[in-house]
Chains A and B, each alone.
Chain A
Amino acid sequence: MAKQAIFEEHPEVARRFADLHPPLEPQQAVVEANRCLNCFDAPCTAACPTHIDVPKFIKKIASRNLRGAAVSILDANVLAESCSRVCPVEVLCEGSCVMHRYNKLPIEIGRLQRHAMSNFYDSGAAIPKRNSPARQEKIACIGAGPASLACAAELRQQGFQVTVFDKRPLPGGLNTYGVAEYKLRAADSLREAAKIMELGVEFRQEEIADEAALGRLEKEFDIIFLGLGLGQMHKLGVQGDTATGVIDALEFIAGIKMGTCLTVGQHVVVVGAGNTAIDAAVAAVRLGAANVHIIYRRDEKSISAFDFEFEHAKQEGVKFLWGTLPVAVHAEDGNAVSLECVKVQVSETGKFSQVPGSNFHMPCDMVIPAIGQSPLLEFLGKFRDLKVEKGRIVAERATGATSNAKYFAGGDCINGGREVVDAVADGKRAALGIAAKLGVK
């Protein structure tokens, strides 16, 4: 991971993308930790896909056993630091907090977890190594995103020889390249990946798993874990969508995080109303765009972003146009100058129809499609005997086992695109499934 050593946080990015949820001060953390009721069989723990024992780590913060808090978190979730920043806690642990029913604010579980994890890693501590006997079996993890990292870490802790293959220069997948910088800095994602490398996991970045490579991997490795994520973002698919100034949301965000794309248009239109659209729109605001609009073909009630993301975008000054569909990007000298849109209505049966004569032009110099990622259909087609449905690899939820005994899978490529914490849970379950298959009791 030589590249990580030269990767430094871009000062301009740091300035513009300050933490959305600032870290807790040490005493603040103790006060908040003391508020926790320490529920039995706590709902927050049950709601967490990785089942972090929340009251356990919170009470360790209260007793000022910060190392113990971090270690108990890591025991359940090896990507605990990034999860503490990117998890939609409002619909997970904090959404389940009994304090809601007590007429009180829920415990700030996400920030407490971040407090424990930042403190742990800032002190230079390493993930504690389990004392497992070394095993000869070799496992390849394809993709270096959260699912693969979680799978690799667990297998390595059980003594297996693990190698992670990834097409990008840096590990971490969307944690490094795709999460809004005000939630999780790329540098923190890389630090977390480095901790997994310290466990003895080998990382081979910028290696494409093409057909020939897969053939070699199948011979060299006993089991192959697929933590591929999803494919490219969908193209806008309208006339002129190749003009300069049209850039998909993930590419836009990755450019910011790598410090390679820190200029933005004056008038920006984001197409789509999911969480990634919100991240892109807010990023455009913070980079200095004068006007940022999100256009969406359905109404406000139908957006797929979480409530708190929608509220956040409005607070940052993003404007929303509902019932609006893009029909063409107009360009001058190859540069986008306006987005032609049309109003749409939805019939009772859910059918969209354009309102005749409602076309209008939104002047813009940047168009950011954020209308979802496509599945890796073409790539998945290369695997023999791997059952794929609706663009997702079919895998047993409890073990990650696929229809091909050589392959296990987890993360977005089996669940269709959920959260980091879901991928971590998938990866760890698959690791346990692989270990069981290889005879670990």
Chain B
Amino acid sequence: MADLKTNFAGIQCPNPFWLASAPPTNCGEQIMRAFDAGWGGAVWKTIGEPITNVSSRYSSVDWAGQRMMGLNNIELISDRPIEVNLREIEEVKKRYPKHAVIASLMVETKREVWHDIVKRAEDAGADGLELNFGCPHGMSERGMGAAVGQDPVYAQMITEWVKEVAKTPVIVKLTPNITDIRVAARAAKAAKADAVSAINTINSITGIDLDTFEARPNVGGKSSHGGYCGPAVKPIALNMIQSVMADPTAALPMSGIGGISNWQDAAEFFLLGCGTVQVCTAVMHHGYRIVEDMCDGLSNWMDSKGFKTIDDFRGLTINKVTEWKHLNLNYKIVASINEQLCIGCDLCHIACWDGAHQCIHMDRVEGPRDGHVEVHTKPAEFERRSKASIAVTPIPKLDHISMEAHGPYATPLARIPRVDETECVGCNLCSLVCPVEDCITMVEVPTGAAPETWNERTRGTGRPLTQQAR
């Protein structure tokens, strides 16, 4: 049985699943229910001088009938008095001493103000501090949040102020709204931060009402640039986290954030080096209960892989991502269609013809016609033939067939596409559009050539080659 107990930069917790600083961690009552549900830690909704929020705060992007592929918010930090938040931290820690309670902090850029809030948070019993240098809306207009995170000089300076007095681990939360996130991470490291967390939300406008022409979320006819999160942002988060973790001048213990909805997402963040993960949108969508399968699923997967702790696999993927120039140009794969599984939707055919390299064909011809696209029947011709065909309703009495000859029908051979392997460039697109799992697989074809990267191929030529002889 896998052990999920976690020590993150000195912060102990029963598992690596934390709630991110957000509406699910607004108050002590919520956080205690979350711990009851199984969360290992919680980053308190950012504490600072209370603000006033607007009404109408969230908007989302739905996709193909699924709700909230991405969520956007214009809610600011906690609107509750600092004392109330601190009193509740104390109460939660008293009742849940083994769970991690992290105080997220954001105050004006003054050394004594930061010193004061750090001491008060630690006095209340916080296990660690997360510096909110990432909030992209509202607070940044007042010189806080992302305004700090986007300026490495400020970020380093404030982190240093915090470290002057902090007794607990200090986590710097990074904003993705920056050209190179490593710059901000390096500033945190230079200031001796204990850890970083990434990513905060991404600036966004989620959509526009086509009747009123107003953007969402709509606050009395006006909207504002919000912070985007949820499943849609996961690839962006993974990319940024990998770039930080692969940079020795930036890498620190990393708490991963960005679209984590289940244990599989979490495992990916751990593979890129994260020590904990933080979740918000999935909880806002489904409630605290989702953590049960996060723990259970991760634990079962770890058992199946023989991993006893998260450290056993943490970071395994960091160095499997590299710069393009280091990729092997002589590695070749081609698409292979499993005819037994093919349902005949022919999406691979049209995707290959219109969106890739014209090598998945509907005409089933032998050798001599393989090769350049000109010899093949084009997609529009198949559609034209279908629409010109005469189809009739099968009527048993008239057609002398039994009803058993009626649908559902097997996939006719004519609808099973075939791959011209000599032309296939191995782009993967067909396997991505195929709705049937394992129907299209990409199969390695030995080229017989030794591995060779772009760097190796162009070495000594004095300039990058634009075209290689085939």
Interface string of B356-394 (1 = CB under 8 A from A): 000000100000000000000001001100110111111
User: With A48-B391, A96-B409, A101-B411 as given contacts, are A37 and B345 in contact (CB-CB < 8 Å)?
Assistant: yes
Task: Please tell me if the beta carbons of A92 and B393 are within 8 angstroms of each other in the complex.
Answer: yes
Are the C-beta atoms of B435 and A102 separated by less than 8 Å?
yes
Interface string of A414-425 (1 = CB under 8 A from B): 011111011001
B392 touches A422 (CB 8 A): yes
**A416 neighbours in B (Cβ, 8 Å):** 398
Question: Which of A47, A95, A304, A422 is most buried by chain B, counting CB atoms within 10 A of its CB?
Answer: A47
Q: How far is the CA of A84 from the CA of B409 in the complex (A)?
A: 21
Say if the beta carbon of B54 comes within 8 Å of chain A: no
Report chain B residues within 8 Å CB of A306.
403, 406
Known: A41-B379, A96-B407, A100-B409. Is A421-B393 also a contact (CB below 8 A)? yes
Question: Could you tell me if A95 and B409 are in contact, using CB atoms closer than 8 angstroms?
Answer: yes
Residues of chain B in range 143-181 having any CB-CB distance to chain A below 8 Å: none
Find chain B residues with CB under 8 A from A98 CB: 343-345, 411
Are A40 and B409 in contact (CB-based, < 8 A)? no
How far apart sit A415 and B399, CA to CA, in the bound complex (Å)? 11
**Complex: how many Å from CA A415 to CA B394?**
12
Once the chains are docked, how many angstroms separate the CA of A46 from the CA of B408? 15
Q: How many residues of B contact A (CB 8 A)?
A: 36
A301 within 8 A of B: yes
Q: Are A34 and B411 in contact (CB under 8 A)?
A: no
What is the chain A residue whose CB lies nearest that of B344? A98
Complex contact B393–A40 (CB within 8 A): no
The CB with the most chain B CB atoms within 10 A, among A37, A41, A48, A415, is that of A41
Bound Cα distance from A419 to B394, whole angstroms:
9
- Main secondary structure on A side of the interface with B: helix
Which among A41, A397, A417, A421 is the interface contact of B346 at CB below 8 angstroms?
A41
A255 within 8 A of B: no
A309 to chain B minimum Cβ distance, whole angstroms, is 10
Kindly state the separation between the CA atoms of A161 and B40 in the bound complex, as whole angstroms: 79
Contact with B along A92-117 (1 / 0, CB 8 A): 10111111111000100000000000
B391 touches A307 (CB 8 A): no
A49 near B392 with CB under 8 A, answer: yes
List, in ascending order, chain B residues with CB within 8 A of A40's CB.
345-347, 349-350, 379, 382-383
Interface string of B401-426 (1 = CB under 8 A from A): 01100111111000100000000000
Contact B347 A90 (CB under 8 A): no
In the complex, what's the smallest C-beta–C-beta distance from B376 to chain A, in angstroms?
14
Contact check, B395 vs A418: say whether CB atoms are below 8 A apart: yes
Give the contacting residue for B398; candidates A90, A307, A418; CB below 8 A.
A418
Interface flags, B309-349, vs A, CB<8A=1, else 0: 00000000000000000000000000000000001111101
Q: Which of these, B387, B395, B398, B402, contacts A45 with CB under 8 Å?
A: B387
B183-213 Cβ-contact flags toward A at 8 Å (1 or 0): 0000000000000000000000000000000
Among candidates B65, B386, B403, B406, residue contacting A41 with C-beta atoms closer than 8 Å:
B386
When distances are taken between beta carbons in the complex, the residues of chain B under 8 Å from A307 are 403, 406
Q: Please, which residues of chain B bring their CB within 8 A of the CB of A37?
A: 345, 347, 435
In the bound complex, do residue B408 and residue A106 qualify as a contact, i.e. CB atoms below 8 Å apart? Answer: yes
| A100 touches which of B362, B382, B407 (Cβ 8 Å) | B407
With both chains docked as a complex, state the minimum distance between the C-beta of B340 and any C-beta of chain A, in angstroms.
10
- Which residues of A64-109 have CB atoms within 8 Å of chain B's CB atoms? 87-88, 90-92, 94-102, 106
- Residues on A with beta carbons closer than 8 Å to the beta carbon of B390: 49, 397-398, 425, 429
Q: Would A46 and B393 count as touching, CB distance under 8 A? A: no
Alpha-carbon distance A210/B350, docked complex (angstroms): 54
List B contacts of A87 (CB < 8 A): 393
CA A31 – CA B389 in complex, angstroms?
31
**Chain B hits for A419, CB < 8 A:** 393, 395
Question: How many residues from A make CB contacts under 8 Å with B?
Answer: 48
Q: How far is the CA of A40 from the CA of B349 in the complex (A)?
A: 8
The yes or no answer to A264 lying at the interface (CB within 8 A) is no
A363 contacts chain B at the CB level, 8 A cutoff: no
Contacting residues, chain B, for A101 (C-beta < 8 A):
343-344, 408, 410-411
Q: How far is the CB of A66 from chain B (nearest CB, A)?
A: 14
B397 located at the interface, meaning its Cβ lies under 8 Å from any Cβ of chain A in the complex: yes
Q: 1/0 per position for A258-297, CB-CB distance to B under 8 A?
A: 0000000000000000100000000000000000000000
Task: Give the complex CA separation of A293 and B345 in angstroms.
Answer: 43
CB distance from B22 to the nearest CB of A (A): 29
Confirm or deny: B436 has a beta carbon within 8 angstroms of a beta carbon on chain A: yes
Let me know if A194 is at the binding interface, CB within 8 A.
Answer: no
Question: Which parts of A109-154 form the interface with B (CB within 8 Å)?
Answer: none
Cα A306 to Cα B382 with chains together (Å):
31
Contact assessment for B391 and A31 in the assembled complex, using a CB-CB cutoff below 8 Å: no
The chain B residue with its CB closest to the CB of A92 is B393
Shortest Cβ distance from residue B378 to the other chain A in the assembled complex, whole angstroms: 11
Residue numbers in B under 8 Å from A41 (CB-CB): 346, 362, 379, 382-383, 386
Establish whether residues B406 and A422, one from each chain, have CB atoms under 8 Å apart when the complex forms.
no
The answer, yes or no, to whether B64 is at the interface (CB within 8 Å) is yes
Centre residue among B343, B349, B379 by max chain A CB count within 10 A: B343
A317 within 8 A of B: no
Q: Does B396 sit within 8 A of A, measured CB to CB?
A: yes
Partner of B393, one of A30, A88, A94, A99: A88
Asked if residues A95 and B345 are in contact (CB atoms below 8 Å), the reply is no
Instruction: Kindly state whether residue A43 has any CB partner on chain B within 8 Å.
Output: yes
CB A28 to nearest CB in B, in angstroms, measures 11
In the complex formed, the residue of B with least CB distance to A98 is: B343
Report which of A90, A304, A398 forms a contact with B397, defined as CB distance below 8 A: A304
Considering the chains assembled together, what is the distance between the CA atoms of A353 and B436 in angstroms? 53
Among candidates B343, B397, B410, residue contacting A102 with C-beta atoms closer than 8 Å: B343
Query: Taking the nearest CB of chain B, how far is it from the CB of A94, in angstroms?
Result: 7
CA distance A398 to B388 in the complex (A): 9
Q: Is A346 an interface position by the 8 A CB rule?
A: no
Given the complex, which residues of A lie within 8 Å of B397, measured CB to CB? 274, 304
A270 to B164, CA, bound (A): 95
B393–A51 CB distance below 8 A: no
A395-441: which have CB < 8 Å to B? 397-398, 415-419, 421-422, 425, 429
Q: A51: which of B343, B386, B407 is its contact (CB, 8 Å)?
A: B386
Render A178-192 as a binary contact track against B, CB cut-off 8 A, 1 for contact. 000000000000000
A377 to B344, CA, bound (A): 45
> Which of B362, B387, B436 has most A Cβ within 10 Å?
B387
Give the shortest distance, in Å, between A111 (CB) and chain B (any CB).
Answer: 16
B436 closest partner in A (C-beta): A102
Residues from 10 to 60 in A contacting B, C-beta threshold 8 Å: 30-31, 34-35, 37-41, 43, 45-49, 51
Instruction: Given the known inter-chain contacts A102-B436, A418-B393, please indicate yes or no for A34 contacting B65, CB distance below 8 A.
Output: yes
Contact A46 B345 (CB under 8 A): no
Do A422 and B407 touch (CB < 8 A)? Answer: no
B406 contacts A95, C-beta separation under 8 Å: yes
- Distance to closest chain A CB from B271 (angstroms): 31
**Interchain nearest-CB distance for A90 vs B (Å):** 6
CA distance A47 to B407 in the complex (A): 11
Contact status of A418 and B392, CB under 8 A, knowing A34-B64, A101-B410: yes
Pick the residue among B349, B382, B387, B398 that contacts A417 (CB under 8 A): B398
CB <8 Å contact, B344 and A43:
yes
Instruction: Output the nearest chain A residue to B407 by Cβ-Cβ distance.
Output: A95
Residue on B nearest A416 in the bound complex, by CB = B398
Residues on the A chain within 8 Å of B403, using CB: 306-307
Expressed in whole angstroms, the minimum distance between the Cβ of A70 and any Cβ of chain B is 19
Interface centre among B350, B390, B408, B436 (most CB of A within 10 A): B408
Of all A-B residue pairs in the complex, the 8 with the closest CB atoms, nearest first, are A95-B407, A100-B408, A34-B65, A40-B350, A40-B346, A101-B343, A98-B343, A39-B345
* Known contacts A35-B65, A39-B347, A40-B347, then 6 further A-B pairs from the complex at CB < 8 Å, ordered by chain A residue: A40-B345, A51-B386, A95-B409, A100-B408, A102-B343, A304-B395
Chain B contact residues, CB within 8 Å of chain A: 64-65, 343-347, 349-350, 362, 379, 382-383, 386-387, 389-398, 402-403, 406-411, 415, 435-436
Q: List 5 A-B contacts (CB under 8 A).
A: A40-B346, A40-B349, A90-B406, A307-B406, A418-B393
